[in-house]
Structure 1
């Protein structure tokens, strides 16, 4: 049995942007990654929206923003309800990436794309898996998938997607076969000639250094900066590659011979402490050397020499010179951009970039300048950069006055609503009270909230205690038929609370049993002397008061978001050392060629990298079938058979079908129908792809790009009236056109079972040399060598009755 396999590319093809691909296996849709970047481009998400209700599962390969950045938006804003599968470290570190991303933008602007609540909804959709754990897709499609180690980042996965029909699909992007300090490399030994390989060509054409040389170069550049009393900034991601460098530098700082202990090592991000805590608890996902440490050693990620900072103020408390690992790696937001604007004007400082982000980012510009510079020093022409600066600044002048006026109006409105709710609540409590004897009870409203014990002692000096006392005698007394001379006047406010009970007795209020903080006890000695016994410090009392008193609110300084252009002169050293943790080009080619896949789809890589990998596969005949390098928005048909179509049954044909039951919940039917094309389809019902020109399209696009020409539009090459897969339907065939067909007997009955049936019907049946004799041999049934049954006997009524009984053991179509 064959399958229809298609891949729709929404983002991450022939560029280095976020990854997002939709894989169709027959009627199941699997979303492979859903990344985003600093551009927050919703174009590809709008194209993905029509398919969101049909998505059966989402597979996340890595925890960084390029692989899962759009997940909160898809869940919170687009209504994605499919389960999301990721390994445990990808689940935890992915949250750290997005939290840091959100807070980095909230520090300088009003971030509106998604909220923390959307992130919480997305987290609830994630189902955590382990390596080599097979997960079966919900439904009866028979699709299952398995996560295998990919290296690169903690928990990174290569996804193997299988179907019961035997087709294996390998989704492998951003993998690393080399063993690192904290991660093992990936392995392709368990893959045997997959039907389809979806892989990336990210930085396949760029050279890489040996790990030993790279580490030595990093240490030398750090030492050169800090020894001249400058600060060194290492631009790295939030919770991925930062673990490799942090572990390396912590070991160097622990070595007394290195002479680095006099300098401060800092990890700066909004979630630095959480990242370290998660790393401590996930050693089983790391290198064996880290996992199998003896009891005498401490956890490798204790990072005793690393200061964890979460704000710019925390960093300022640490003296220079400092080595700061800060996010984000693209330098479009976060502490890396903030520190660069602050430190780049000092020639003693240094900036070390560790990755190559997309071309539009500040980090990509600095990488290009660093590779063309002489020992990190930029030339005079390259020093000046025009940057967009976003920041929050406090309000002042008329803006501050207007803000306070609006805030006062909002507070007054909130106070009025609270008082109104309190009045209604007092009415309800008075009506429910069973112990009240006074019909003209007072309605008491208090606008104060619950205070601490210290404030209760100073009740007479507090201005916040204010009561509204309204007597029912005035305007709210109950009307009665009989006159009464009794009148009610305002009195001291008192409202007797009704004692409430549950199944265990009276409900205890914990606040009534809270011990008040002890104050200073003054003991007098003599006339003028006195001794003060201090029970608690004023700071402790103030801290405890703030903890228990919910009414105390620290008023935040009102701010506004500003954005302006800024021309900055880069005087510091800017250098690049590759720490991305991705396999080099030569190793990648050999590893993928050893898989011997039948089909290959190349995604996620620049045009140059994609062209190089495409040419290598073509020249070496790696794939037995076709090789595709689709562009964004293109659809690739990777079905097992070339001529396989997906059709739907019409309602009229479905109502006319007569099923023959062959077993419990299983039936068969013979259908005579014709294939017709649907007249009109509203919306997208399937991933549509034409029968022809699709393979030629991807190949010709790549050839045109090699010649410097723009690829032709797919809609211009394919006729609009051409038949489309997934747009066919089976309809009723007219009776005059239905051909005759031989009867089909479905089932394999046993003669022993048929003997029991004959016995129940009153026939005499016995076996003789493998032949079933009926009624003393007047009829006999035996199975010949070809597997057919032979019924022999004289033509009579009994013969036809026996034949009819034997036919009932089959489903005859």
Structure 2
């Protein structure tokens, strides 16, 4: 059974982004995309964004649902690299336990990393998304209020943020864990997902964008295809779902059991690409000719490439010398990734870059040699030198760096991120750029609902005539902005004056407290170490002395006195008195040293001690007169004390070195990622040559006097309504789910599909967090086949399986929990013939018998049948509406003889029409061969 739940981006919704869907196939839970909303919407009365008094955020419901379901997800599939599809994956991976295996294509992994880094760094540079008084909502389930400490008292404070913005380290960690696949590369999953096969196909729209084909043995084929583009662009080919030139649907994606697709642009008629490019280029050329500047908000990775390729070609063709300025922190990194993935690019970029000079004309050997020398001087690799060099493109991390290089009066084209103008360089630039007359702002995307970019788009669209609206297939004209606009600007400013002094005093106090605590901890650790060492040494010495005493006592007890031993022997005292009692009493009275109180002297003292066993026999140097060893001696006892600290008094932590070795191994395995992070750190170090001073986050309201011109040119690269209504019926799914669509677009697509007789009527349009169950009427049972039934089944081969037709009755035997299927009493073996009553006038009428029932298994493809008929000499031609005309032809000029028509109905029935002839029977035979004939017993 299949259960589908839109976490965000459902049908019949006013907010169609971001995209995130939970697909459950039996017990496997699959997360399709994990997009992030725009974290900085406009706070206007007409906006649904959060206000100071309200805690209702437009993304709360989605984020709460994703956080709840993230730990139970078994598989994650990412289709595109923009924020609407992949922006929240890093945060969910690091904070919400989304540790399931994640798959996407290599460009999506790289571009999504770049887009997410640009977004999180831009937001964190302007807002404190992790305030000190905010508790960790990810572990505490986020109550309504939180507490802040003020001395010894606590008071409830209002929550300042619920923006789930990851850190740069979390972004790298998350996308390093993503598995990458190539187009058309099937991946057979293991573990809980065993049996499921996933395959990505080219979706167009973005570099590496994927259509996911999910094959399950129980649920069939599921195709997830959102944000497609069938049109060929400059840097990308169109989607493989539909072949260009009316070639039909891509065969591996045709007729799926379930199609999940979007319908956001069902009511949109896109203008021609030639008209869009002409309007964009003419506007840019005219503005630069009158010494004005242009500003184009754009995204950081996906659709930016198409703009850069178009502008670079125009600059090279017109030999323009005006700069193209890109305000982005990750612009260089993005182009580095793209140049390393040239095999994923398509369109016309390869043909236009190879063998084309700076003027757009074919260059000769000298031109190619000159370009090769320049590439070597610039240090570019050979692959990146032939394409995507962008000679006129310059990178700037922020607007201030741009002003330090070019004056505000210099004509230039500025591309700034993000496209929504909600934060970052684009918003800061807009506040000053829009007030200059004759400047032009060109929007290429509509922006998310509630953002400044979307507000500007609506202002432009409402100023157009009805026939020139953006969704009517026409190119509108630019409009003059007027009036005032209040913008809220967030920024980080250095501390000054009393605030700086208070901060430094607080830092000094914290450092002194930390140093005092560290000193106290070190002193306590040293004291405990010395005490532990003394106790250990005392215990070890006591144990060793006890052992020596026991050993000596045993030696004395076992040893026999030697009559030949001298008077000052090992166990004799002056005057012949034995010291055995003192030997037994303890080692302190033993002969280990001189003792004046006992009257011992150097002549009578001996260090020889008896030893047990055969250890000393071979090495003994005390010999008797006959050369044989008579006594066994023990060496002076020495106890080695093990040092617990090194020469400097520090504890030796072996675990630390083991952990360090593990870190070295991990670094060796990820040299490429470490090199990339190192390069990024170097770039950031160049940008900020000095250490960042103490700063604070401030918000201010800026009044902007609008005086520039505004134009919208649709460069989103998505299918329009005509393409959607043409492609979906050709795919012809058995069931379909519509997502990512407003109410009007959803109803339009359902109505269009309902007017097609061959189209399925099982179309679902779930709203936000509304679950849809497909296949709930299917029930599975466990049953065993009896031996008699197995022997009577006639099996037929079908693909890699053996199929048979079974007719029987279910019997439940005592002592068995599994029912048994047994043959019927009236099976073929026991079936009796039925005789009809004799009718007058009928002589010898044959009694009727029951014929066995049979069925054909398989799906007929007319193209395959056409190939089989050609191999047996039957010519076949495909005509309209899925009909195959078959017949023989003596010559090319003569018509077909004995024609037979083969037609497939919408329910999969095969209809064969024609006169009884050789052609008819040959065609029928070949149709049977393409199926498995299963006969009932």
TM-score (norm 2): 0.54
Greater mean alpha carbon deviation, residues 10-19 or residues 422-431: 422-431
Residue 401 of structure 1, aligned match among 465, 485, 501: 501
Structure 2 partner of 1:57: 75
Q: Confirm or deny that 1:376 pairs with 2:478.
A: yes
| Gaps in structure 2 of 5+ consecutive residues | 40-56, 131-163, 242-249, 356-367, 372-384, 465-476, 534-645, 653-681, 788-811, 825-851, 853-937
Q: Confirm or deny that 1:307 pairs with 2:404.
A: no
Find the aligned partners of 1:738 and 1:241 in 2 and give their Cα distance.
Answer: 61
Structure 1 partner of 2:215: 162
Structure 2 partner of 1:181: 234
Find the aligned partners of 2:780 and 2:298 in 1 and give their Cα distance.
Answer: 47
* CA spacing shift, 1:421–1:174, aligned 2, 3 Å: same
Helix, strand or coil for the counterpart of 1:317?
A: helix
Structure 1 partner of 2:173: 121
Residue 102 of structure 2, aligned match among 80, 84, 87: 84
Offset of residue 497 of structure 1: 7.0
Maintained 8 Å contact 2:786/2:820: no
Q: Confirm or deny that 1:350 pairs with 2:437.
A: no
Offset of residue 220 of structure 1: 1.5
Helix, strand or coil for the counterpart of 1:359?
A: coil
Maintained 8 Å contact 1:174/1:582: yes
Q: Trace 1:719-758 onto structure 2 (pairs within 5 A).
A: none
Structure 2 partner of 1:265: 324
Offset of residue 49 of structure 1: 3.8
Find the aligned partners of 2:818 and 2:647 in 1 and give their Cα distance.
Answer: 92
Structure 2 partner of 1:459: none
Structure of higher CA gyration radius: 2
Offset of residue 554 of structure 1: 4.9
| Gaps in structure 1 of 5+ consecutive residues | 434-494, 502-545, 650-656, 663-732, 746-785, 787-813
Structure 2 partner of 1:283: 342
Maintained 8 Å contact 1:229/1:348: no
Find the aligned partners of 2:463 and 2:440 in 1 and give their Cα distance.
Answer: 14
Find the aligned partners of 1:5 and 1:273 in 2 and give their Cα distance.
Answer: 43
Offset of residue 93 of structure 1: 0.5
Find the aligned partners of 1:431 and 1:93 in 2 and give their Cα distance.
Answer: 59
Maintained 8 Å contact 2:441/2:711: yes
* CA spacing shift, 1:555–1:53, aligned 2, 3 Å: closer
Structure 1 partner of 2:732: 596
Helix, strand or coil for the counterpart of 2:479?
A: coil
Structure 2 partner of 1:30: 30
Offset of residue 202 of structure 1: 2.1
Maintained 8 Å contact 2:195/2:217: yes
Structure 1 partner of 2:697: 561
Offset of residue 742 of structure 1: 6.5
* CA spacing shift, 1:216–1:661, aligned 2, 3 Å: same
* CA spacing shift, 1:417–1:149, aligned 2, 3 Å: same
* CA spacing shift, 1:555–1:94, aligned 2, 3 Å: closer
Residue 236 of structure 1, aligned match among 298, 304, 329: 298
* CA spacing shift, 1:499–1:185, aligned 2, 3 Å: same
* CA spacing shift, 1:417–1:253, aligned 2, 3 Å: farther
Helix, strand or coil for the counterpart of 1:405?
A: helix
Helix, strand or coil for the counterpart of 1:82?
A: coil
Helix, strand or coil for the counterpart of 2:255?
A: coil
Structure 2 partner of 1:363: 453
Structure 2 partner of 1:469: none
Offset of residue 575 of structure 1: 1.1
Offset of residue 105 of structure 1: 0.7
**For residues 329-383 of structure 1, what are the alpha-carbon distances to aligned partners after superposition, in whole Å with 9 as ceiling and x for unaligned?**
1111121111111211111322111011222111111011122347433464xx3
TM-score (norm 1): 0.62
Helix, strand or coil for the counterpart of 1:162?
A: strand
Find the aligned partners of 1:567 and 1:734 in 2 and give their Cα distance.
Answer: 86
Offset of residue 404 of structure 1: 1.7
* CA spacing shift, 1:187–1:249, aligned 2, 3 Å: same
Find the aligned partners of 2:313 and 2:819 in 1 and give their Cα distance.
Answer: 82
Maintained 8 Å contact 1:57/1:137: no
Helix, strand or coil for the counterpart of 1:399?
A: helix
Helix, strand or coil for the counterpart of 1:170?
A: strand
**For residues 461-509 of structure 1, what are the alpha-carbon distances to aligned partners after superposition, in whole Å with 9 as ceiling and x for unaligned?**
xxxxxxxxxxxxxxxxxxxxxxxxxxxxxxxxxx9979999xxxxxxxx
* CA spacing shift, 1:359–1:142, aligned 2, 3 Å: same
Residue-pair matches, total: 548
Structure 2 partner of 1:643: 777
Maintained 8 Å contact 1:196/1:638: no
* CA spacing shift, 1:646–1:94, aligned 2, 3 Å: farther
Maintained 8 Å contact 1:82/1:125: no
**For residues 57-88 of structure 1, what are the alpha-carbon distances to aligned partners after superposition, in whole Å with 9 as ceiling and x for unaligned?**
10000011110111122111211110111100
| Superposition CA RMSD, Å | 3.7
Find the aligned partners of 1:6 and 1:237 in 2 and give their Cα distance.
Answer: 34
* CA spacing shift, 1:7–1:562, aligned 2, 3 Å: same
Maintained 8 Å contact 1:266/1:325: yes
Offset of residue 599 of structure 1: 1.1
Helix, strand or coil for the counterpart of 1:80?
A: coil
Helix, strand or coil for the counterpart of 1:226?
A: helix
Find the aligned partners of 2:183 and 2:821 in 1 and give their Cα distance.
Answer: 52
Find the aligned partners of 1:379 and 1:333 in 2 and give their Cα distance.
Answer: 21
Structure 2 partner of 1:103: 121
Find the aligned partners of 2:694 and 2:427 in 1 and give their Cα distance.
Answer: 24
Q: Trace 1:228-627 onto structure 2 (pairs within 5 A).
A: 228-255=290-317, 258-261=318-321, 263-287=322-346, 289-291=348-350, 294=354, 296=368, 298-319=385-406, 320-373=410-463, 375-378=477-480, 380=482, 383-416=483-516, 554-621=690-757, 623-627=759-763
**For residues 15-58 of structure 1, what are the alpha-carbon distances to aligned partners after superposition, in whole Å with 9 as ceiling and x for unaligned?**
32100111111111111001111247232232234433332110
Maintained 8 Å contact 2:212/2:224: yes
Helix, strand or coil for the counterpart of 1:314?
A: helix
* CA spacing shift, 1:167–1:431, aligned 2, 3 Å: same
Offset of residue 317 of structure 1: 3.0
Offset of residue 430 of structure 1: 11
* CA spacing shift, 1:429–1:282, aligned 2, 3 Å: farther
Offset of residue 167 of structure 1: 1.5
Structure 2 partner of 1:137: 189
Helix, strand or coil for the counterpart of 1:34?
A: coil
Structure 2 partner of 1:707: none
